[in-house]
Amino acid sequence: MAEDTLRKEHEELLQEGRRQTKLDKERADVFEALVKSPGWKIYEELLGARIQALGGEILEPAGSVDGAIALEHVKGTMKGLILARDLPSIIIGNTKADTSAQGETE
């Protein structure tokens, strides 16, 4: 009886894993089309300019505790913009790596 329960749970986990893998691949395909579009290039340029501007702020001395706190805000903003810029490429790369690794193990 316990073996049947384990087998059922195992099969459910495998099915969920397959669903998630399919979803990941679909998202990667959509992101791949997105990053190839002309609009994405413009988006990257805009983000790049903003990231550079914020980088300049970080290189200036804080001058005070309030200035140091403001710089922490700027660093957080930069990290968010970098993530917004890089996330599709990261997802595409990871999905391709996962897909090829799965192909090697199956």
pLDDT at 99: 72
Instruction: Give the separation between CA 98 and CA 21, rounded to whole angstroms.
Output: 9
Q: Where do the DSSP E strands lie in 4-91?
A: none
Reported as a pLDDT band with limits 50, 70 and 90, residue 104 is low
- The pLDDT of residue 106: 58
- State the Cα–Cα distance between residues 6 and 4, nearest whole angstrom: 5
Mean of pLDDT values over 93-98: 85
Between CA 32 and CA 14 the distance in angstroms is: 27
Average pLDDT value for residue range 11-33: 92
Task: For the full predicted model, state whether its pTM sits above 0.85.
Answer: no
